[in-house]
Amino acid sequence: MNETQTVSVDTAPLQLSHFLPYRLSVLSNTISQAIAALYEAEFDLSVWHWRVMAVLGERPGLTAREVTERTAMDKVAVSRAVSALETKGHLERCEDDRDGRALRLFLTDQGKRTYGQVMPRVMAYETELLSSLSERDRRALERVLGALAAATSPEKPLW
């Protein structure tokens, strides 16, 4: 009797479309793309470029290593984004007097101008997005993101 279905019968049926990690991934990618569209074409920036600019706009003078910590990018990606941004004239690297290996990163005036144009759009997008949720659901989302982040953090492995 229908040998070919044995496998799917004795495991829980996975509806990909109901599977949390899958939904999260699709949602996250959709949102990332929508945001990227806010600066990609007009300012010729990639997601990584913008991420680096965003942290430097807030914290001028970080080193590349510090940027990696704050952006969850790996150091190669940061290194490449930084040199691309330097080439474009959005940031400059200044030697650190204390550590001859490190380079402190600063947005140039041009970089700040771009930052000043992109940031409000990005923030507005987030606001718009959150406005589709009730106040209660916003708070719940806050909790859930925290809980899931904690559950998946390397310090406390899940299994």
Q: Which of 106, 61, 116, 111 is nearest to 90 (CA)?
A: 111
Q: Which region among 53-61, 82-90, 97-105 touches its own copies (by CB under 8 A)?
A: 53-61
Which of the choices its own copies, DNA, none does residue 103 contact, using the CB cut-off of 5 to 8 A by kind? Answer: DNA
Question: Which residues 6+ apart lie within 8 Å of 35 measured at CB?
Answer: 47, 122, 125
Work out whether 64 is an interface residue with DNA (CB under 7 A): yes
What whole-number distance in Å separates Cα of residue 112 and Cα of residue 62? 15
Q: How big is the site for its own copies, counted in residues (CB under 8 A)?
A: 68
Q: ∠ CA(103), CA(107), CA(112), 5° rounding?
A: 175
Question: Residue 16 corresponds to which amino acid?
Answer: L
Member of 23, 31, 61, 75 binding DNA (CB under 7 A)? 75
Instruction: Tell me how far, at minimum, the Cβ of 141 lies from DNA, in Å.
Output: 26
Nearer to DNA, 80 or 112 (CB): 80
**Least CB distance to DNA at residue 152 (A):** 17
Binding of residue 46 to its own copies (CB under 8 A):
no
81-106 per-residue burial string, b: 16 or more CB within 10 A, e: under 16: bbebbbebebbebeeeeeeeebbbbe
Q: Which residues bind DNA (CB under 7 A)?
A: 46-48, 63-66, 74-80, 82-83, 93, 98-103
